[in-house]
Amino acid sequence: MSQRVLTTESGAPVADNQNSATAGAGGPLLVQDQHLLEKLARFNRERIPERVVHARGSGAYGYFEVTDDVTGFTGADFLSEVGRRTETFIRFSTVADSLGGADAVRDPRGFALKFYTNEGNYDLVGNNTPVFFIKDPIKFPDFIHSQKRDPFTGRQEPDNVWDFWANSPEATHQITWLMGDRGIPASYRHMNGFGSHTYQWTNARGEAFFVKYHFRTNQGVRSLSAEQGAEQVGKDANSHQTDLLQAIERGVNPSWTLHVQVMPAAEAADYRFNPFDVTKVWPHADYPLQRVGRLVLDRNPDNVFAEVEQAAFSPNNFVPGIGPSPDRMLQGRLFAYADAQRYRLGINHTQLPVNAPKAAVVDNYGRDGLHATRYGSRQDKNYEPNSYAGPAQTGAALASPLAVHGWTGTHEAPAHTKDDDFFQAGELYRLMSADEKDRLVANIAGGLSQVTRDDVIEKNLAHFHAADADYGKRVEEAVRALRED
Give the residue numbers annotated as catalytic, written as ranges.
54, 127
Q: Are the C-beta atoms of residues 307 and 313 closer than 8 Å to each other?
A: no
Q: Is 172 in a helix, a strand, or coil?
A: helix
Tell how many helices (H) and how many strands (E) occur in the chain: 12, 10
323: left (phi over 0), alpha (psi -120 to 50) or beta: beta
In DSSP terms, which residues pair with 127 in a beta bridge? 110, 194
Q: Is 219 in a helix, a strand, or coil?
A: coil
Parallel, antiparallel, or unpaired: how do β-strands 290-299 and 255-264 relate? Answer: antiparallel
Q: Kindly state the helix (H) or strand (E) to which residue 424 belongs, with its residue range.
A: helix 423-431
How remote is the C-alpha of 471 from its chain's centroid? Answer: 30
Q: Are the C-beta atoms of residues 174 and 209 closer than 8 Å to each other?
A: no
Residue 93 DSSP label = E
Q: Treating both helix axes as pointing N-terminal to C-terminal, what angle do 158-166 and 140-147 enclose, rounded to 10 degrees? A: 150
216: left (phi over 0), alpha (psi -120 to 50) or beta: beta
Buried residues in 366-396 as b, exposed as e (16+ CB within 10 A)? eeeeeeeeeeeeeeeeeeeeeeeebeeeeee
How remote is the C-alpha of 242 from its chain's centroid? Answer: 20
- What's at 468, amino acid-wise? D
> Roughly how many angstroms between the first and final C-alpha of the chain, as a whole number?
69
Residue 7 DSSP label = B
